[in-house]
Structures are given as C-alpha cells and as structure tokens.
Structure 1
Amino acid sequence: MVEMSCEDHDRYAASSQFITHTVGRILKESMLESTPINTKGYESLLGLVENTAMDSFDLYYGLFMFNKNSLEMLEKLDLAFEDLRKQLIAWLHRVVRNQLIENGERLHQLDGSNSHALHRRAPNESALLHSSQSDENTKLKIAIVGFGNFGQFLAKTIVSQGHEVLAYSRSDYSDVARKLGVLYFSDVDDLCEQHPGVILLCTSIISTVKVLKSLPFQRLKRSTLFVDVLSVKEFPRNLFLQHLPHDFDVLCTHPMFGPESGKNGWKNLPFVYDKVRIGNEESRILRCYRFLDIFASEGCRMVEMSCAEHDRHAAGSQFVTHTTGRFLEKLRLKTTPINTKGYETLLSLVKNTGRDSFDLYYSLFLYNLNAMEQLERFDLAFESLKKQLFNRLHSIYRKQLFENEQ
C-alpha cells in the first residue's frame, strides 16, 4: 500500500508506466521474434512486448494524454535515441576516416619501396613440421590470448575441469593467473613454443586483427585449433580463413553469457558454435569435441549454427537488447515507489548493458552487417508510434473545434 499525492503519482507514473509501455510498443512495431540464441535480456524484452501488447492503444493514449508529465518523457526518449544514433555514426565516421588516412600512408610507403616489400616471405616450412602423433589424453593444453575479465572468467572453469591453461596478454595478469592455476607468459613467442593444442582468442573485436597478425604461427603445431569467443561470428570466421595457415583448424564460438550472467553457473545458457574448418584426422575431431565438452559438461545449451545465421539472429537478440538498454541509460532512470514489473525489467536491462563498454556495443553495430537494418527498424517503429499518438491528438482537437463551431 503506497499513499502519495495524485501529483506525485503522475510524476512517477510518467517513468514507471508510460516509458515502459512506450518501449514495449516500439519493440512490438520492430517485429521482434524469438531466436534459437535468446539472451536473458532479450527474453525480458520479449516478455515486455507480450505484456504491453495485451493493453489497448486507448489505454496507452490515455497514459500519454491525461498525464501532463508524459510528453516530456516522450521528448526525452526521442532525444536519447537520437543521441545514441549520433554516437554510433560519429564512431563510424572516425574509424572510416582513420582507415582512409592509414591506407593513404601505406600506399605512399609502398610506392617508394621495392616490389618485394609487397609480399611477406612465408615461414620456413620445416619449422612448421611437428610430430603428428595423436594425444590420447582427454585433457587439453589451451592457450588463452587476451587474459582480461572474460579470459579469466573462462579460465577458472577450464582449469577446474583439469585442462592445462596457458595465458598471454598485453597487461600483466601474472598474479591473477597464479591464483587461478594458469601458467602466464609475458612473451607470445614463449607461449607458442609450448605448442598448445588450442589457441583461444579472448581479445576485443576491435583488436582481433592486430593480435592475430602478431602471432608467430611458425612456432605452433601445424594442426593447432584456433577458437574465438567474439559476439559476432562472420567477422572472425573471415579473419581466420584469410590469415591462418590452411593446416590450422578453426572453431568459431559465442558463449552468450559473461562473468555476471554466468556467475552462478552455466546451466541452460546458450553456447553457439560453428566447426568452420576441422581436419579429418580422428585426433583433431576429438580435440574439437573435447573443447566443446568444456561447455556442454557445465550444462550449456549447445547450439550449432553457421556464423552467418548467428549474426542474423544476434542482430535481433543482442544488438536490439543493447540498443534499448543504452538509450534508456541516457534517461538516467531511477527506481520509484510505484515500480511496475515491466519498469523493473527496464531498470535491470539498463544495469546489465551499462556494465559493458561502448566499444563492445559499437562492435556489435560495426561488425554485424544486420545491425544497421535493426537500427533502422527501431527508428521507424519509434516514428510510427509517435505518429499514432499525434494523429490521435490531432483528430480529437479537430473534432472539438468542429463541435464548438456547431
């Protein structure tokens, strides 16, 4: 039981009720659909759409028309979304501009050099040859490249299953590695000299190209399995196929959880994978399945799909979720004494997406070719909803004018 003045109620309700219904209706207009790789955040948005869709447009219009605070909230929502879109475009402009400048400088350097500089000599073939004797041991030697929060998060579980874990990162995480039972290397050449069977890339999307090009492939076994855990999949798939020697195996994965959502275990959390290129030898096939079993044995919901299919689904389930959370974050929403369940969902979404860097969100936009379409659909849905509200407002005002005239 909450006793408060009517004025206080309407001020709070403009957030907890009107914003909730507005977001639900925008998402409904965006035609969201359930995917095989729904995240918890996306599930909450689908639930919000279902709940708000049960109410008539008359109810929603009433929340807008008869609460003097609602128009201000609608304007704030509009400005917040526009600000987020400008941020994305500004970042895109900066990245493209930097690339053009770098490409121009590179061409200038190439023009003044000998033609042989255009072609890097392939590593000595004999240096790539290692024993092909298969390892019957079920435990893997996994090297994690990029030992930040997510790399450490995965390492903890991998070590607990008895696998040998090595790590390398630009920052010094030797103390953290020691506590986790991980052998840490400050030099990537020394790491590769250990001949790990699996190279697990846990770098950011933006730095993946640079990191991949810096690895000394000639120090690894020819059959090494490369795995990524990025939030987009076609981008790393193409990178691996373009830059890795043909003898290396490639497995693209996306654990759709992190240190926060997976802190209480990985049971029923989706793990997406695509066996892009796995050798025919039994030992290499078994190694791939042993790696996947790390996640399967923890209870993950294993989803095998192509990288292209993943990105198509993720543009909805992941990019839309982050977009909603980020533009709501700009409103600086606060809890009220009269929170609805839907509003609690939005507050939780803002909290979860706010933990991730803008770099991650921007990467979901830049490296997924389906993201722009989703952003445009979201924009059109918002415009359509505003048009419905103002058309109703206009028609009522015209009706009043004619009645008064008569």
Structure 2
Amino acid sequence: MSRPPSLALFGFGAFGRLLAPLLATETSLVICDPARQAEVVAAGYPSVPPEEAARADILLLAVPLAALPGLLRQLAPLLRPGQLVIDTCSVKEEPARLMRSLLPEAVELIGSHPMFGPASAARGIAGAQLVLCPLRGQGWRRLAAHLRGRHGLRVIIASPEEHDAQAALSQGLTHLLGRAMAGMGPTPRIRTRSFELMMEALSMVTGDAPDVYEAVTGANRHLGPLRARLARALAEETPAQDRP
C-alpha cells in the first residue's frame, strides 16, 4: 500500500481552517502559520516551520495575495524537483506571474481558486466549483480527476487570464454590490422574496476578510471596465425626474 502524499498547508486563516479537515483525511498534513501556531496545535494539527513544511510533496498556499511574494521567495531555495506548488488566491494572473518568476523551473505549478468559502461551504463542498489553472507540469490532471471523483467538485480548467476576466463579473461585482448594499441602512420590513434572496446571496461575501475584498476588487484588472459599465447602466435606468 502506497503512502499518502505529504501536504503542507501554508496559512490557517478562515479558508485554511475550512480546508484542513478535508486534507487531513487523504494526506499526511502539516500546517505552517507561525502567527497562528497556537490555533493550529489547539485544532490538533502538526505545526511546523517553513523549512520543514517546504519538504512536503505538495505545498498548498492559502495566504493573502499581499503575502504571496514574500512566501515564495522564502520557499524558492528550499524546494526540490518534482514538488507541486498550488496557490489559492482569488485572482490568478498575478499569482501565476509570481510563481513562474520566483520558483524553480523543476517545480510543478498550479493556480487554483475554490469558488466557495466557509459560508457557502457550510453544508459541504460537493457540487461546488473549483478552478484549476495549469502553469507548469502535468500534475493538474491527476488533481482534477481526484477532486472530481473524491469530493464531487465541478472542476473548471482555465487560463489565469480567462479566470480573472470571468471572475471579475461573477465575483468582483458581487463583492462590490455586497459592500454597497451593506451601506444602504437597515433591512426594510417591507420587502419582496426576490430582495431577501438577493440579500442572502450578498451576505455570503460581506463577511469575507478585508484581504479577500481587496484581491477581488483591487487586484483584478478586468473589474474596472465592468464597474464602469455597471455605472453607465444604472445611470441610463435612472428615471428622468430623479436625475440631477
């Protein structure tokens, strides 16, 4: 019987805490997050320093985009040929550029974006979407098959550019609308079911960490034109009597 692959999870924030129990069932899991070492140990996972975590077969980087360059530079001299490095940032073009430029050529690279989080995955991840962006090597093929077969995920293969262009609409604008609607005041007593469903959907993103909001709204170059189109569409729909 072959041993399970070793996997190092970098980052034990909200998303890392969501992933850890799933990963622990099928890998030899260690977690590296020096700032949350006590939380990792309290949750029952091995907490290891970066030098030890970098020996794993698979390195899963669940850190904010702003922390990614520093982590990659720290890991680069510690890696060996054949290892697989996967990021989980909410945008893909910039992480792809960073991993390609900062990590050794002999290391396999995959960009990933699970299109779910702690709120939307509260009842499980079966049926949820996960995007894989193959960057270097063929390990993505085995990973895609495993995620589909073992976890029932709907795996979408895309380039980083295709991901960001589509996610600007499906995720970026959602976060912008969630932030805007949260600032509109208390929920009215008089409301339609469609309003309730819309607010329920937007509530899934309003609780995201600030770094997630910044990534999907500030680090996606495709969002600006969409935001401008939305502003024009709203202006065109404004009744004449309400215009300045």
TM-score over 0.5 (shorter chain): yes
Indicate conservation of the 8 Å contact 1:252/1:273, yes or no: yes
The alpha-carbon deviation at position 294 of structure 1 amounts to 5.0
| Matching residue of 1:139 | 4
| Matching residue of 2:223 | 371
The answer to whether residue 36 in structure 2 is matched with residue 183 in structure 1 is no
| Matching residue of 1:300 | 153
Distance change >3 Å, CA 393–CA 265, structure 1 → 2 = closer
The answer to whether residue 173 in structure 2 is matched with residue 320 in structure 1 is yes
In structure 1, distance between residues paired with 2:173 and 2:109: 29
Whichever residue aligns with residue 268 of structure 1, its letter is G
The alpha-carbon deviation at position 208 of structure 1 amounts to 1.2
Whichever residue aligns with residue 303 of structure 1, its letter is I
Structure 1 consecutive aligned stretches of length 4 or more whose deviation exceeds 4 Å:
391-394
Whichever residue aligns with residue 236 of structure 1, its letter is P
Choose the corresponding residue for 2:185, options 329, 332, 336.
Answer: 332
Q: Which deviations, in whole Å up to 9, do the C-alpha atoms of 1:233-277 show, x marking residues without a partner?
A: 111111111111111110111110011111211111101102210
Q: Which deviations, in whole Å up to 9, do the C-alpha atoms of 1:177-233 show, x marking residues without a partner?
A: 4534x3211x212322xx211111000112211222222x33332221110111111
| SS of corresponding position for 2:131 | strand
Whichever residue aligns with residue 4 of structure 2, its letter is K
The answer to whether residue 243 in structure 2 is matched with residue 390 in structure 1 is no
Choose the corresponding residue for 1:155, options 12, 20, 35.
Answer: 20
| SS of corresponding position for 1:184 | coil
Structure 2, unpaired ranges of 5+: none
Choose the corresponding residue for 1:278, options 134, 137, 142.
Answer: 137
Q: Which has the higher strand share?
A: 2
In structure 2, distance between residues paired with 1:316 and 1:237: 20
Indicate conservation of the 8 Å contact 2:131/2:156, yes or no: yes
The answer to whether residue 30 in structure 2 is matched with residue 171 in structure 1 is no
Q: Which deviations, in whole Å up to 9, do the C-alpha atoms of 1:25-57 show, x marking residues without a partner?
A: xxxxxxxxxxxxxxxxxxxxxxxxxxxxxxxxx
In structure 2, distance between residues paired with 1:392 and 1:172: 51
Over aligned residues, Cα RMSD in angstroms?
2.2
Distance change >3 Å, CA 347–CA 333, structure 1 → 2 = farther
The alpha-carbon deviation at position 390 of structure 1 amounts to 1.1
Q: Which deviations, in whole Å up to 9, do the C-alpha atoms of 1:134-185 show, x marking residues without a partner?
A: xx8362111111121211211111112x3111111131334434534x3211
| SS of corresponding position for 1:221 | coil
Distance change >3 Å, CA 293–CA 152, structure 1 → 2 = farther
Computing the radius of gyration from Cα coordinates, the structure with the larger value is 1
The answer to whether residue 200 in structure 2 is matched with residue 348 in structure 1 is yes
| Matching residue of 1:263 | 122
Choose the corresponding residue for 2:110, options 251, 261, 270.
Answer: 251
Indicate conservation of the 8 Å contact 2:111/2:135, yes or no: yes
In structure 2, distance between residues paired with 1:300 and 1:159: 18
The alpha-carbon deviation at position 299 of structure 1 amounts to 0.9
Whichever residue aligns with residue 183 of structure 1, its letter is P
Distance change >3 Å, CA 340–CA 213, structure 1 → 2 = same
Q: TM-score, normalised by structure 2?
A: 0.91
- How high is the sequence identity, in percent, across the aligned residues? 24
| Matching residue of 1:204 | 64
The alpha-carbon deviation at position 290 of structure 1 amounts to 4.5
Structure 1, unpaired ranges of 5+: 1-135, 280-284, 395-406
Higher relative contact order (CA 8 A, sep 6+): 1
The alpha-carbon deviation at position 327 of structure 1 amounts to 0.4
Q: Which has the higher helix share?
A: 1
In structure 1, distance between residues paired with 2:215 and 2:127: 26
* Number of aligned positions between the proteins: 243
